[in-house]
Structure 1
């Protein structure tokens, strides 16, 4: 799904408790989350202006952070309200939302327990990958030669970035 690069889009992103211009939502290249995958995220869809299973996604975001050894400093209620307001502010009805939490740049090292925990939520229009007439013909899938990590690698249902990358 090619299009305008994400760093060149307009709108707002909820970033550490405030709505900021899309272009101003940045992190430093030496953020722990980038180098050590100490980040967690959710991928959510909104249909007709309603976020599908929003509360369940936010609960899993918090649970995934716990698996990674950090606590997101915003409650589930605050995050859910931010997602709703973001949809409204971005004037989106059918969209994709990406809440992501990560350890900041105060320390670079495997153990960075005192790093600041950040949270951002972005939302953008995300139409179907397939034209309606193509979907009616059926969709083909390919199977990757790679396998996911063993389920015992991390607790079930956590969305840690480092383990998720195998799916790319």
Structure 2
């Protein structure tokens, strides 16, 4: 599948019904378009099976609750809808996007309690998020924007509004020839990339930022379990920017990113070492098992 995302063949599930791809539209006064009252999930199907599918559906509900709305479809109904979408589009290896939002209704100010909650699920073929970075290592810029305090925004929600500074940071990174950007948090600690969590290696041990103001990704949690099975010591802690110079390896985790090695962050270089390759290769096998 190629071309603009609004001009493709296929079917999208919307509010309980499969509709032709080009007809999956919303009104210009949809509340989410104006006030970011939207949550979403990014998922990958491998061989027709969505990895951690139910966990993603449960998190979609959690995210909606965190930004003060209820999704009127159960987790079981969302699970069935995702399978329906894959089947309708003849896909087995695919990216799956579920999105829930406050639609158009009687409210068009900041408050929108009377507006209906909508839900849509789409799927399409999508290759490696970072191109050939899985072999050579991704190149990251350092963003000027910081992840906000959890007192400022619901940081554990996968909410559209929280990605505004990620979009700006990634645009700035791409303008410099980088594939992504490292973001610090509001205190100045190392946080995450624009859409992926981060891991570092030093002296055979792993260090990863504490997700206390950004999303604790499902892929991140999977990789932590994998490291535990290997009896690799993991330090989940606050990491200062000056520590980047001391780390030997680095990788990103996320549903889209999967496990992607990092070769450079700003002026700091990392090797695509044995542990990074082991985790990356093992993750590839796990999601297809």
**Is the Cα–Cα contact under 8 Å of residues 14 and 120 in structure 1 kept in the other structure?**
yes
CA-to-aligned-CA distance 1:34-74 (integer Å, 9 cap, x gap)? 00111111111112221111111111110111111111000
SS at 2:71 equivalent: coil
CA separation of 1:111 and 1:56: change in aligned 2, threshold 3 A = same
Q: Displacement of 1:156 after TM fit?
A: 4.2
**Is the Cα–Cα contact under 8 Å of residues 42 and 57 in structure 1 kept in the other structure?**
yes
**Is the Cα–Cα contact under 8 Å of residues 67 and 154 in structure 2 kept in the other structure?**
no
Match of 1:108 in 2: 108
Which structure 1 residue ranges, 5 or more long, are not aligned?
A: none
SS at 2:157 equivalent: coil
**Is the Cα–Cα contact under 8 Å of residues 94 and 127 in structure 1 kept in the other structure?**
no
Q: Which has the higher contact order (CA 8 A, sep 6+)?
A: 1
1:15 matched to 2:14: yes
Match of 1:86 in 2: 85
Range with bigger deviation, 42-51 or 114-123:
42-51
- State how far apart, in whole Å, the 2-side matches of 1:150 and 1:53 are: 28
CA separation of 1:66 and 1:135: change in aligned 2, threshold 3 A = closer
Match of 2:128 in 1: 128
Q: Displacement of 1:18 after TM fit?
A: 0.6
**Is the Cα–Cα contact under 8 Å of residues 60 and 157 in structure 1 kept in the other structure?**
no
4+ residue runs over 3 A deviation: 129-132
SS at 1:121 equivalent: strand
- The answer to which structure has the higher strand fraction is 2
SS at 2:144 equivalent: coil
Q: Displacement of 1:164 after TM fit?
A: 2.2
RMSD of equivalent CA atoms = 1.6
SS at 1:10 equivalent: coil
CA-to-aligned-CA distance 1:64-117 (integer Å, 9 cap, x gap)? 111111110000000011101211111112211111111111120111101011
Q: Displacement of 1:131 after TM fit?
A: 5.4
Bigger Rg over Cα: 2
Aligned residues: 165
Q: Displacement of 1:150 after TM fit?
A: 1.5
Match of 2:73 in 1: 74
